[in-house]
């Protein structure tokens, strides 16, 4: 819609990934899904729900999910050929040798070959595979959930082991998505503590995220009686009297309106300039902070790409800090899907691509990627619904842990498959030749199953480090 009355600040991070709230005033466009932070707005709607941003995103999710292929279960494919083969082989073993001997004039006891055929059937029973393979995946999924990683199916756990490309959203995924004071730069006549104190008091009555970060950085209780004559200047900042001194805190526009020379910022982030009694006191840098586990998540894969709706400057700064292979900025939800489509075409068929995000705007990409990973604690419902894996504590380092769990689980699955098939193949040959008796057959069936199950239980033991 279009704003017809009022001014405010909108948090658009869930939709566009912009870490800095957007100032909005009369005659400016707003999109569905934004969060109003400060003022009261009257908006004239210009689109029906079916044409709204959120509706289009949900449509992208549905279309993207239709393109994702589901890998067939190994047991289903194996049983399609194995079961008829062993049944016909047992039947042939019971009938053909006595018939051939009878034709050649050497009558043989039918009971001997029937017992061999029954022994053959007992040996061939695929209990070890049918029980141990699903149990291995259940163990892997259980181990992951104990570590705060929810995997929505065994096929996704299997795909994690083959993941070579990881595409990250920025805000709320690699970065915390909240403002923190990352630098305090006082003028000649002021200290860092004084500069932060004046800024925190001047902004004490504001509910803006930048004001909250200043108050959090100050860390002390603010005495409201020390502040008076507060005036909020839309799009510029605030002015107030703090302990009898006139303080102005805001952006460069505010300093220009006060005819004050100010220091240009060289860092990446939002700058709050402060003036006290008509003198420039310095500036405070506020920016989004990289999450602690981000570097660990990036180190576990072949190639890392970042897609974000945030500005190019901020995106390139974060990419440089984390040493990412590729970065694309100022993207809309549909643009993210296009970028992922291209990456999916460029990679080999055996290599899997995972996308990690948390916002509404990430839902279509989470659905389209081979594996969608959502941040569960702070992520949007749309992102969690579209994802295949959910990290409940929003720690990106858990991606590396999920891959480690997946690889261990798959290793145990392959161990059970090879062990079960090798023992059965040997015992089947011995059973057909009459060397293996029913006791050997029972071991080949039940004994191998018990050993495979005990091996599968190892999936539950994962070191969370």
DSSP code for 208: S
d(CA 6, CA 25): 6
d(CA 296, CA 322): 10
Contacts of 18 (CB under 8 A, 6+ apart): 12, 171, 309, 310, 311
**Alpha helix stretches (DSSP H) within 260-299:** 294-298
Q: What is the DSSP string of 307-350?
A: E-SS-HHHHHHHHHHHT-SEEE-S--HHHHHHHHHHHHHHS-SS
169 given a catalytic annotation: yes
CB 250 within 8 A of CB 243: no
Neighbours of 354 (CB within 10 A): 26
- The two three-digit tokens of residue 260, written as one number: 């004050």
State how far Cα 196 lies from the chain centre: 36
* Distances, alpha carbon 268 to alpha carbons 10, 20, 256, 328, in Å: 21, 12, 21, 17
CB 178 within 8 A of CB 384: no
- From the list 59, 169, 381, 445, the catalytic residue is 169
β-strand pairing of 303-307 with 163-168: parallel
Residues paired with 7 in a beta bridge? none
Hey, which residues are catalytic here? Answer: 169
């Amino acid at each position: 819609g279009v704003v017809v009355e009022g001014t405010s600040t909108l948090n658009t991070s869930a939709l566009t990934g912009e870490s800095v709230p957007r100032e909005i005033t009369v005659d400016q466009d707003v999109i569905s899904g934004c969060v109003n932070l400060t003022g009261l707005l009257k908006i004239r709607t210009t689109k029906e729900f079916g044409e709204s941003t959120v509706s289009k995103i949900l449509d992208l999710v549905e279309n993207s999910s239709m393109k994702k292929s589901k890998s067939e279960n190994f047991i289903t494919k194996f049983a399609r050929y194995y079961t008829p083969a062993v049944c016909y082989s047992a039947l042939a073993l019971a009938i053909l040798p006595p018939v051939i001997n009878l034709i050649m004039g050497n009558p043989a006891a039918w009971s001997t070959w029937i017992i061999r055929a029954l022994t053959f059937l007992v040996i061939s029973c695929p209990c070890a595979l049918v029980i141990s393979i699903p149990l291995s995946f259940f163990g892997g999924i259980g181990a992951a959930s104990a570590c705060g990683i929810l995997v929505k199916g065994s096929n996704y756990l299997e795909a994690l082991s083959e993941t070579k490309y990881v595409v990250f959203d920025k805000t709320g995924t690699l970065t915390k998505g909240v403002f923190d004071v990352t630098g305090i730069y006082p003028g000649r006549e002021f200290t860092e503590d004084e500069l932060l104190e004046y800024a925190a008091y001047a902004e004490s009555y504001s509910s803006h995220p930048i004001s909250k970060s200043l108050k959090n950085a100050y860390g002390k209780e603010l005495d409201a009686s020390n502040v008076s004559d507060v005036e909020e200047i839309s799009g510029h900042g605030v002015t107030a009297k703090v302990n009898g001194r006139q303080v102005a805190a805001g952006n460069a526009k505010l300093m220009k309106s006060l005819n004050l020379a100010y220091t240009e910022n060289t860092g990446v982030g939002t700058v709050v300039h402060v003036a006290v009694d008509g003198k420039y006191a310095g500036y405070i840098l506020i920016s989004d902070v990289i999450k602690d586990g981000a570097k660990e998540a990036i180190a576990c894969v072949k190639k890392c790409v970042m897609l974000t709706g945030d500005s190019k400057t901020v995106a390139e700064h974060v990419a440089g800090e984390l040493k990412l292979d590729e970065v694309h900025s100022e993207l809309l939800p549909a643009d993210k899907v296009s970028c992922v489509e291209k990456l999916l075409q460029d990679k080999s068929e055996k290599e899997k691509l995972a996308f990690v995000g948390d916002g509404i705007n990430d839902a279509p990409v989470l659905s389209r990627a081979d594996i969608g990973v959502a941040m569960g604690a702070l992520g949007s419902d749309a992102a969690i619904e579209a994802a295949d894996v959910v990290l409940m504590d929003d720690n990106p380092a858990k991606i590396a842990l999920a891959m480690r769990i997946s690889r261990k689980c798959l290793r145990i699955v392959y161990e059970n498959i090879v062990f079960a098939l090798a023992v059965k193949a040997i015992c089947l040959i011995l059973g057909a030749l009459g060397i293996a008796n029913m006791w050997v057959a029972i071991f080949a069936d039940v004994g191998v199953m018990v050993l495979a199950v005990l091996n599968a239980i190892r999936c539950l033991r994962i070191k969370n480090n």
